[in-house]
Amino acid sequence: MNDLRARLATLKSEYRKVQGEATIETLRRFRVATFVVLPIHVVLTGWFFFYQAPPGRPELQAWAHSLYMLQAWQALVLLFFGLFAQRYLPRHETANQTGVVLQVLLCASYLFFGMVAAMLDVRVGHGIATFLIICQGVAILSLMRPLLAIGMFGMAYLVFLSLLRVTVGDAALMASLHIQTLSTALISLLLSLLMWHQYTRAVLLRRQLSLSNAALLRKQQELEILAQRDALTGLYNRRQFTVLAELELARAERIPGGIALLMVDLDFFKQINDRHGHPAGDEVLRQVSALLSAGVRSTDLVGRMGGEEFIVLLPHTDLENALAVAEKLRKTLRERPLLVQEVQLPVTASFGLTWLAENQKGLLPSLYAAADQALYSAKHGGRDRIEVAMPNLAQSA
């Protein structure tokens, strides 16, 4: 019993999530159907208007006249709903209460049309085929929650049965029509439930697939970021920096311009880890990364080589400007103590700089070796300083 209640609660929740989208789909279907059904109503209106009953059959003339007015009325109703849906649909991705009411009224109007038309047919000795066709058409076109479908087709059955009892006097015929009416309502209800169930499953599956695809896309983007970025600092990792730096060097050959490479190594970083712990050291690396990134142009490349060592590529930069950038970064680190774990930590760094003039060509390994040599000199020359070493261009060639 508890499982049944849980299942019903789940279905109710799912149906509530789908109804707004289902109503929009229903209105779209009816809007398309308008272009097919409206001309049929117009043609039938004209046919019944000009219909001439055989001599001695005044009831057929009255039947045609009634259907002429009924077809004309339903054509106007359909035109109104079609225009309203045309205006409503572009403004709504999911239906609000107005959309649901429009759906119910449209279905009710067609069911009532089918009942009246079938009742008129019965009066002249015809069957209730019109009622059957309309009920099944509504069941196929209109996506309704089970309770709404039960109410809609249940009411259609009761109202049509009442009309038949007023119209039909023969008991045997009434019994036959009663069975046909009940069968029509039940078949239409089952068809409506089937259409609703299939649509609900399709919508929920589509939403789940959309969520899964979005999650996979996010994971893919995260993996791409992890493949290109340093997980701790968010800077380019060594591999990605190398790829981008080589592209910049190739661009510099096509569009001549000086290019500088700057190696940065934090001074006495091991003491920070030893005294304050590795979490504090990680926070220092993050803050230093932010300062380095903020201190260069958006077109410059900043990466983390590993540990406390960083690297900066400055495209279209001459030696004088490269030295100015390095000095600005050095002063920024020196003059701005980092707040880590509520403690002000002074941080300095040593800089190794190398540079290619716009008429020179060099490979990244030779630039890296020269910048590393300059950094070594800065470390052994007292730290917190900038040293310059020119690359071995012969080795690059």
Residues designated catalytic:
308
Measured CA to CA, the distance from residue 185 to residue 269 in angstroms comes to 82
4 SS3 class: helix
CA end-to-end span of the chain, whole Å?
Answer: 83
Nearest to 101 by CA among 13, 19, 189, 192: 19
**CA trace torsion 382, 386, 392, 397 (10° rounding):** 150
Quick check: 135 and 188 in contact, CB under 8 A?
A: yes
Tokens coding 277: 């712990």
Show Cβ contacts of residue 103 under 8 Å, excluding neighbours closer than 6 positions: 23, 26, 27, 95, 142, 144
Measured CA to CA, the distance from residue 397 to residue 394 in angstroms comes to 5
> How many degrees, rounded to 5, is the angle at CA 342 between CA 338 and CA 343?
55
Show Cβ contacts of residue 121 under 8 Å, excluding neighbours closer than 6 positions: 63, 127, 128, 129, 130
Quick check: 41 and 158 in contact, CB under 8 A?
A: no
DSSP output for 9-45: HHHHHHHHHHHHHHHHHHHHHHHHHHHHHHHHHHHHH
Q: How many CB atoms are closer than 10 A to CB 27?
A: 26
Name residue 229's beta-bridge partners. 236
Amino acid at 352: G
For 39, 245, 251, 262, 353, the CA distances from 265, given in Å and listed in that order, are 81, 19, 28, 10, 12
DSSP output for 92-125: -SS--HHHHHHHHHHHHHHHHHHHHHHHHHHHTT
